[in-house]
Every structure is written in structure tokens, then in C-alpha cells.
């Protein structure tokens, strides 16, 4: 498995569905950082700025949707997606 980029581009909406995607693999560190921040009770706006590198002051609705979808995907990874990682699988999506 190739090493994912340190700061990959963030989509407006995270990957979704029941299949691990290449986007998921690229964003593993992002997902972990989101989960850590969530566990610490960090404010979503600060997390969006630091982790997602998005500005919630200028595009609040878009950034909130991006934050929510990436956090949801991060949680999915802890419940289901990790199994795909263990098997070494990812779709091309």
C-alpha cells in the first residue's frame, strides 16, 4: 500500500457507501484526527479549520456538511471500514 499524502484535498462530501474507497485510504489520517478531536469535544469550526483546512467563517453551510460527512465516514471506518483495510481491499472510487 502506498503512503497516503499528508494533507490530501478534502471533498465537499466524504466517501459513502459500504465499500472502502481510494478516497478513504487517502484520508485515513484525516479520519483519525477527526475522531481524536471529536473525542476531546473540540469545536467543529476549529477542527474544520485545522484538520480539513476549510474556512467555516466564509462558507459555513458547505464546511459544516463537509465536516459532518467526514466525521460520519470516520466513525464508519471504526465500525466497518477497518475490515476492508485488513483484507487489503479498496474500490477504485
82 lies in some domain: yes
- State the virtual CA torsion across 75, 79, 80, 82 in degrees, nearest 10: 80
Within 10 angstroms of residue 24's Cβ, the number of other Cβ atoms is 26
73 lies in some domain: yes
18 lies in some domain: no
Domain count, the chain: 1
Summarize pLDDT for 34-88 with one digit per residue, the tens: 999 999 999 999 999 999 999 999 999 999 999 999 999 999 999 887 677 767 7
**Above 60 in pLDDT, residue 1?**
no
1 lies in some domain: no
71 lies in some domain: yes
- What is the Cα gyration radius of the chain? 13
Instruction: Residue 51: give the domain boundaries.
Output: 26-87
6 lies in some domain: no
Task: Provide the pLDDT for residue 2.
Answer: 61
40 lies in some domain: yes
pTM score: 0.84
Q: CA 26 to CA 6: how far, in whole Å?
A: 9
81 lies in some domain: yes
Amino acid at each position: 500500500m502506498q503512503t497516503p499524502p499528508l494533507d490530501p484535498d478534502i471533498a465537499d462530501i466524504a466517501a459513502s457507501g459500504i465499500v472502502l474507497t481510494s478516497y478513504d485510504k487517502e484520508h485515513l489520517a484525516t479520519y483519525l484526527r477527526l475522531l481524536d478531536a471529536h473525542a476531546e469535544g473540540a469545536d467543529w469550526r476549529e477542527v474544520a479549520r485545522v484538520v480539513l483546512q476549510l474556512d467555516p467563517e466564509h462558507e459555513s453551510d458547505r464546511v459544516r456538511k463537509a465536516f459532518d460527512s467526514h466525521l460520519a465516514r470516520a466513525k464508519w471506518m471504526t465500525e466497518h471500514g477497518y475490515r476492508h483495510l485488513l483484507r487489503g481491499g479498496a474500490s477504485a472510487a
